């Protein structure tokens, strides 16, 4: 009888172990939910044609800010590139020519998103190819994650209502190919 724990102490120990178990179980459940959400996002794959494109903000190398929502009513061409990307070089001149052709009309906005790069190399690339359309770094890869890109170059063309209408993985082969993707979106 001397070894018996009084009922109140036994109840306290059981109660404390219960809370500990509940906390541990709750932590595991929360961790599993977070992992499941991450896997679901990964399995979604890239943004698909017909999807409304998630809003994003690009701050250019010269400090200008472009928010996708602010450009509804325009066709927006989002080109992911990097200075270290040789296929990106193949399309650089044609993208710039297309930009210069569309810029006076004000109906098309080109945005270059520099992916996993350093600013000096990116600036040298822009100068080398005389790129004048707005370009900025993908800080924290937030924009590329929103589009769930698989590599560079990748180009996404968004219609006036914010809906993705064209995706090009890899470099454009010609100016005509770029215009063939944009022109149908300009007709009312």
Q: What is the mean pLDDT of the segment spanning 111-121? A: 98
User: In terms of pLDDT, which residue wins out, 22 or 171?
Assistant: 171
Based on the structure, what is the number of domains in the chain? 2
pLDDT attached to residue 31: 61
Mark whether 36 and 63 lie in a shared domain: no
Q: Whole-prediction pTM value?
A: 0.78
Mark whether 29 and 112 lie in a shared domain: no
**In angstroms, rounded to a whole number, what is the distance separating the alpha carbons of residues 102 and 20?**
64
Mark whether 78 and 140 lie in a shared domain: yes
Q: Cα-flanking dihedrals φ and ψ of residue 152, to 5°?
A: -130, 150
Full DSSP string of 40-96: HHHHH-S--TTSBPPP-EEE-TTS-EEEGGGGTTSEEEEEEE-TT-HHHHHHHHHHH
- 14 pLDDT above the threshold of 60: no
113 belongs to a structural domain = yes
pLDDT attached to residue 109: 98
pLDDT digits (tens, 9 = 90+) for 42-98: 445 568 999 999 999 999 999 999 999 999 999 999 999 999 999 999 999 999 999
Mark whether 89 and 174 lie in a shared domain: yes
Based on the number of CB atoms within 10 Å of its own CB, is 66 exposed (0-12), middle (13-18) or buried (19 or more)?
Answer: middle
49 belongs to a structural domain = no
Mark whether 40 and 79 lie in a shared domain: no
135 belongs to a structural domain = yes
Mark whether 40 and 94 lie in a shared domain: no
User: In the chain, what is the greatest distance between 2 CA atoms, to the nearest angstrom?
Assistant: 96
51 belongs to a structural domain = no
**End-to-end Cα separation, the chain, in angstroms:** 92
For a pLDDT cut of 90, what percent of the chain falls above it? 74
Mark whether 158 and 104 lie in a shared domain: yes
Which of 38-47, 97-106, 176-185 shows the lowest per-residue confidence on average (mean pLDDT)? 38-47
- 38 pLDDT above the threshold of 80: no
Output the domain CATH number for residue 181.
3.40.30.10
- 18 pLDDT above the threshold of 80: no
Q: Which domain holds residue 17?
A: 1-44
């Amino acid at each position: 009888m001397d070894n018996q724990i009084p009922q109140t102490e036994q109840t306290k120990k059981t109660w404390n172990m219960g809370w500990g178990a509940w906390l541990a179980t709750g932590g595991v459940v929360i961790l599993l939910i977070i992992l499941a959400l991450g896997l679901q996002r990964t399995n979604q794959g890239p943004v698909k044609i017909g999807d409304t494109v998630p809003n994003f903000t690009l701050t250019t190398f010269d400090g200008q800010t472009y928010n996708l929502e602010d450009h509804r009513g325009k066709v927006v061409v989002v080109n992911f590139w990097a200075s270290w990307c040789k296929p990106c070089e193949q399309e650089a001149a044609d993208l710039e020519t297309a930009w210069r052709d569309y810029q006076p009309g004000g109906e098309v906005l080109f945005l270059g998103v520099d992916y996993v790069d350093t600013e000096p190399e990116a600036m040298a690339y822009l100068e080398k190819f005389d790129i004048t359309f707005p370009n900025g770094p993908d800080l924290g890869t937030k924009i590329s994650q929103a589009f769930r890109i698989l590599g560079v170059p990748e180009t996404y063309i968004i219609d006036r209502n914010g809906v993705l209408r064209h995706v090009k993985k890899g470099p454009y082969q010609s100016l005509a190919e770029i215009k063939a993707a944009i022109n149908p979106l300009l007709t009312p």
